[in-house]
Amino acid sequence: MRIGILNSGGDCPGLNAVIHGVVGAAHQLGWEVIGFKDGFEGLLPPGDFRVLKPEDTIGILKLGGTILGSTNKGHFAAKIGAGDVAEVPREIVDKAKRTIDQMEISALVIVGGDGSLTTGLQLFKAGWPIIGVPKTIDNDLSATAMTFGFDSAVTTVVDGLDRLNTTAESHKRVMVLEVMGRHAGWIALWGGMAGGANVILLPEIPFTLEKVAAFIKQRDAQGHHSTLVVVAEGAHMPDGEQVALDSNCSGEIRLGGIGEQVASKLQALTGKETRSTTLGHLQRGGAPTSFDRILGMRFGVMAVKLAEEGSFGRMVSYEAYHVDSVPIEEAVNKLRLVEPDGEVVQAAKAVGICLGD
């Protein structure tokens, strides 16, 4: 039997661990593994791929990124915007299917986020033997409690906050850290809580900066002169307000990202020196944490198990320490957002973190 695997969408710590899991488990069954390069693009004739043997996976567990390459562009890019999905054109699907048929691929493992798994679902409905593996640092996929990559991203946020705290305390400043997460606030919430943030601003919880400013002033009055603020990139300024920022280079007035916006307004409201940092793609890079290595590997092993059973159209999932699977359909097109009244938000509030609401 021959099984194919591809990584699609943005890179994510732990992708190589999934490859390791798939290759290891498939090899035990005597199967051949074909790794398609650069996401779905590798499926297009004549096919861009490499045969993956166990020796090819030596040392890859600790590597960030993916040895197969990935893309969120190209002929198969399904996602236009949140919840706005375009089907992959029929002629592209048919072309790629020829590669699958000619190479006698009996199962195709797609490691991807919402957009890539939506494409996977389309291909499954067109008769392809698809198995999905959820991948995103944002942790926003439905039907799985966690995706690999999230823990690594949170760890990077924590490291960033530890470093920013040095300047915050030394200079009695407010330090704002903008983190990734697309439309969801999971990275901000978990990273902020673990990193000792005093304020966490999420897309899911409307906030006012006046409340945050009052909180910062109160901290000052209590002798806590530094404040760490984490803001999710998907958070919005209250009432769509946007603050004009001076540009240091051109002298032109410009509008910054949410982190800069929040910092500028907080400085004006509190009179405290405030700085903003955007963590950006640092959150996607570097070695995966041990949790993500194990989760990725287990996901890969489960994908092979599903292939062995012929359980196609399913996505590997994780629930309460247990790796399982669910129909892909349950996972896509409904982002899993932070619940404003959920237990983790309540815990953040219980320890005195301000959410600005």
Q: Which residues bind ligand F6P (CB under 6 A)?
A: 10, 72, 113, 136-138, 180-182, 233, 284
Task: Tell me if 284 is assigned to a ligand binding site.
Answer: yes
292 is catalytic: no
Biggest CA–CA distance in the chain, Å, is 72
Task: Tell me if 136 is assigned to a ligand binding site.
Answer: yes
Amino acid letter, residue 351: V
Nearer to ligand F6P, 63 or 282 (CB): 282
Whose CA is closest to 11, among 294, 203, 296, 291?
Answer: 296
The least distance separating ligand F6P from the CB of residue 149, rounded to whole angstroms, comes to 8
The least distance separating ligand F6P from the CB of residue 182, rounded to whole angstroms, comes to 4
Nearer to ligand F6P, 103 or 287 (CB): 287
Report how many helices (DSSP H) and strands (DSSP E) the chain contains, helices first. Answer: 9, 15
Q: Measured at CB, which residue is nearest to ligand F6P?
A: 180
Nearer to ligand F6P, 271 or 280 (CB): 280
The least distance separating ligand F6P from the CB of residue 71, rounded to whole angstroms, comes to 10
Task: Tell me if 275 is assigned to a ligand binding site.
Answer: yes
Decide: 338 and 235 in contact? Cβ < 8 Å: no
Nearer to ligand F6P, 284 or 298 (CB): 284
Q: How far apart are CA 72 and CA 62, in angstroms?
A: 23
The least distance separating ligand F6P from the CB of residue 113, rounded to whole angstroms, comes to 6
Q: How far apart are CA 258 and CA 231, in angstroms?
A: 7
Q: In angstroms, how far is CA 305 from the centroid of its own chain?
A: 25
Burial of 90 (0-12, 13-18, 19+ CB in 10 A): exposed
**Which of left, alpha, beta for 53 (phi over 0: left; psi -120 to 50: alpha)?**
beta
Catalytic choice (38, 138, 140, 151) = 138
Which residues are annotated binding-site positions for Mg(2+)?
A: 114
Binding residues for ATP: 10, 73-74, 113-116
Residues marked as catalytic: 138
